[in-house]
Amino acid sequence: MTDTERRSRATEAFYGRRKGKALRGQQVGRLETLLPAFLVDLDAAPPQSLDALFPVPVERLRLEIGFGGGEHLIHRAKENPTTGFIGVEPFVNSMQKLLAHVEEAGVSNIRVYDDDATQLLDWLPDACLDQIDLLYPDPWPKTRHWKRRFVSAVNLDRFHRVLKPDALFCFASDIDTYVNWTLQHCRAHGGFEWTASNAADWLTPYAGWPGTRYEAKARREGRSSAYLTFKRV
């Protein structure tokens, strides 16, 4: 894909950079050979059963939106070999990094999408996912940018459609206003039940949590996090 094509692709919920430092020869090669092999092809109709996306048998399906460095995605994929993971990340350098890890670790239960997650969500069939992870989404802390936040009424409708009944939506953030925003949007939506019964439930990281690169930066800058879990009702 050329830069011109990349810029011209319409996106609804992606406002970030698509490219960082220029990739070196081997990195470009990896992107050219591995990306087509791991990419979910939205031009084709979804398979009748999404486990057909994976070369290994999978019993559950989990989506991570904006995987960044990919540490969490790789960790979870290794930890849960019978779960199929779809990771979405439009930032090319991060995608390249993830594919390098996938190749190195020989992980076969990951598939990726390299553009706005709303496109993948609209492609997915109803009630197909067991979990959606939205970990440290771009915070857009300025009030005038809040409308860019990935959590929105329309995206919660999307989540609600693709999640199975009782499936989970996990949201982590170090930005107080985004945490409150997400709680308010989920409450207003009505299709998500916050599972916390006490403060420890949202202050304690998820079981087996490996951390993420963005979280490490938040800690260095003195910010703590909230880990929200919602059940799709």
Site for ligand SAM, residues 73 to 132, rule: CB under 6 A: 88-91, 94, 116-117
Q: Shortest gap between Cβ of 169 and ligand SAM (angstroms)?
A: 15
Asked whether 186 and 192 are in contact (CB, 8 A), the reply is yes
* Residue 156 makes contact with ligand SAM by CB under 6 A: no
Q: How crowded is the C-beta side of 63, counted as CA atoms within 13 Å?
A: 25
Q: Shortest gap between Cβ of 216 and ligand SAM (angstroms)?
A: 8
The closest alpha carbon to 139, from 102, 168, 171, belongs to 171
Binder of ligand SAM out of 137, 158, 167, 168 (CB under 6 A): 137
The footprint of ligand SAM on this chain (CB under 6 A) covers a number of residues equal to 24
Q: Shortest gap between Cβ of 80 and ligand SAM (angstroms)?
A: 18
* Residue 212 makes contact with ligand SAM by CB under 6 A: yes
Q: Shortest gap between Cβ of 89 and ligand SAM (angstroms)?
A: 6
Token pair, residue 126, equals 């109803």
Where does this chain touch ligand SAM (CB under 6 A) — which range of 96-104, 161-169, 211-219, 221-229? 211-219
Q: Shortest gap between Cβ of 119 and ligand SAM (angstroms)?
A: 8
For the beta carbon of residue 88, count every other beta carbon within 10 angstroms: 24
Alpha helix ranges (H) inside 40-85: 71-79
* Residue 136 makes contact with ligand SAM by CB under 6 A: yes
Site for ligand SAM, residues 51 to 80, rule: CB under 6 A: 65-69
* Amino acid identity at 83: T
- Residues 6+ away with beta carbon under 8 Å from 226: 172, 173, 174, 179, 202, 203
For the beta carbon of residue 104, count every other beta carbon within 10 angstroms: 9
Catalytic site residue 138? Answer: yes
* Residue 227 makes contact with ligand SAM by CB under 6 A: no
**Partner residues linked to 227 by β-bridges:** 172
Considering the complex, state which of residue 88 and residue 129 has its C-beta at the smaller distance from ligand SAM. 88
Considering the complex, state which of residue 102 and residue 215 has its C-beta at the smaller distance from ligand SAM. 215
Cα–Cα distance between 57 and 103 in angstroms, integer?
A: 19
**Partner residues linked to 228 by β-bridges:** 171
- Residues 6+ away with beta carbon under 8 Å from 13: 116, 117, 118, 148, 150, 152, 155
* Residue 16 makes contact with ligand SAM by CB under 6 A: yes
Q: For binding to ligand SAM (CB under 6 A), which residues are involved?
A: 13-14, 16, 65-69, 88-91, 94, 116-117, 135-138, 150, 212-215
Active site residues: 138
